[in-house]
Amino acid sequence: MSELEGRSAIITGAGGGIGAGIARVFAREGASVVVTDINGDAARACATDLASTGGTAIGVQHDVSDAASCADVVARAREAFGVVDILVNNAAIDQRIAFTDIDEAAWDRMIDVNLKGVYLMTRAVINHMLDRGTGCIVNTASLVGKAGALPLFSHYVAAKFGVVGLTQCLAAEFASRGVRVNAVCPGVVRTPLWEPLLQATAAEKGITVERAWQDALAPIPMGVPQDPEDIGEAIAFLASDRARYITGETVNVNGGQLMD
């Protein structure tokens, strides 16, 4: 039997990039998947792709920074699959900008999506999990959520540190009631979020985008980038019964770039 056979999962920000990779692994492992994304067309396209390879999935437009939208996703998931066994809080944005140029609106938007979004989605589903006495939540943090020395990303780093802290607090609060909460820290994954960052770096240094990409890979001991599915494999494990005694952990999945 596949690891997640018979389970249902909500995966936010899964219209592309890391989220889509997580969704592909979950579908392969037998989970019924609710794919959500701010881009509804992307969410539905991902769900269609999963279904075309034998998976069970629906796609839902979703703004994680909006409480009503989060409640609607949970309602849609329960309508489609009866229960919600797993929540993967993956949706995120980033922005490369000097701290002195971050206005209040930009700061608030970063926190609203990357940290408040985790709070809102967890709040939307947690009573359902607690009433059932079982559930698993996995949050996508970042290696800069543990080691924040990344210039020009201060609001992103602050949000990801918040995700790590929230993960630990929720794990402690819900452990005795059957709900496990963990996080993963991806490293260098070439998703659409990376492209504007690579282009900006290339322009500043007068190098090609591909050279900028190779420079980004240089600090990784394994010497190669990771695929979105690599993150999905780690999260699938944390969501499975094999990890039944793991909670409050933040697992590095970054080729050795950060070891702690």
Q: Which amino acids are annotated catalytic?
A: 156
Cα torsion angle, 91, 40, 94, 194, sign = positive
Distinct helix (H) and strand (E) counts, the chain: 9, 7
Q: Is the dihedral of CA 191, 197, 200, 204 positive or negative?
A: negative
Query: Do residues 10 and 87 make contact, with C-beta atoms less than 8 angstroms apart?
Result: yes
Q: Is 147 helix (H, G, I), strand (E, B) or coil?
A: coil
Return the structure tokens found at 28.
Answer: 């392969």
What does 3-56 look like in DSSP terms, one character per residue?
TTTT-EEEETT-SSHHHHHHHHHHHHTT-EEEEEESSHHHHHHHHHHHHHTT-E
Task: Count the neighbouring beta carbons within 10 Å of the beta carbon of residue 39.
Answer: 16
